[in-house]
Chains A and B, each alone.
Chain A
Amino acid sequence: DAGVIQSPRHEVTEMGQEVTLRCKPISGHNSLFWYRQTMMRGLELLIYFNNNVPIDDSGMPEDRFSAKMPNASFSTLKIQPSEPRDSAVYFCASSLVPSGGRYEQYFGPGTRLTVT
């Protein structure tokens, strides 16, 4: 199994530009999570999809952030316009639902975003 795939692995952009991060979950998983990790704030959940439907987006910092999951094998996280404070590592993770039992989340390698 290829695991969770994210692209790009690194992104450097200028303030004000649009950034799109991509994720392919593990085949057969029906939950997908977007996280942001910084030294100051640790690992924060941004949004969670179940069966392609957004369930909880309370972690999305503001309207500049949006996420979509058009099908079971693809999701995007978009930042428009980007700001220097958005610099972080963005992880995508997937798992099986329902909850109960182990059903651990599997993380992708992450996208390191730098906004100058």
Chain B
Amino acid sequence: GQNIDQPTEMTATEGAIVQINCTYQTSGFNGLFWYQQHAGEAPTFLSYNVLDGLEEKGRFSSFLSRSKGYSYLLLKELQMKDSASYLCAVRGLNNAGNMLTFGGGTRLMVKP
């Protein structure tokens, strides 16, 4: 089975840096995704990691350690529009191709 843990809520200040952690325990691993979801909207893709290390894309970076079952999403130069929920999702090794298991999400509130 899959078990994915992430903090429920975080608060940060505009212009600052925030790190959202995700730990997972899975029967197999074939990639980790981060999605952003604004209130009342659909999740949208942010980042993908399948090998250990850091993937950087603009203000957002995502890190993966497969041996530790750990990932984090790093948001730099926070903006008010970054207030949203951030979902960690793991793709397992199975015959179902692209099936994802999502964590409960971390609601990030950015304050002025």
- Taking the complex as formed, is A95 at the interface, i.e. its CB lies under 8 A from any CB of chain B? yes
- The answer to whether A104 and B48 touch across the interface, beta carbons within 8 angstroms, is yes
Which residues of chain B are near A91, meaning CB under 8 Å? 42-43
List A60-110 residues whose CB lies under 8 Å from chain B.
91, 95-100, 102-110
Q: How many A-B residue pairs have CB under 8 A?
A: 59
- The answer to whether B105 and A48 touch across the interface, beta carbons within 8 angstroms, is no
CA distance A10 to B47 in the complex (A): 30
- Taking the complex as formed, is A19 at the interface, i.e. its CB lies under 8 A from any CB of chain B? no
Q: Which residues of B contact A (CB under 8 A)?
A: 30-31, 33, 41-45, 48, 87, 91, 95-105
20 extra interface residue pairs, beta carbon distance < 8 Å, beyond A45-B101, A50-B96, A109-B42: A31-B98, A33-B99, A33-B100, A44-B102, A55-B95, A55-B97, A55-B99, A56-B99, A95-B98, A97-B97, A98-B97, A98-B98, A99-B30, A99-B97, A102-B31, A104-B45, A105-B45, A105-B100, A107-B44, A109-B41
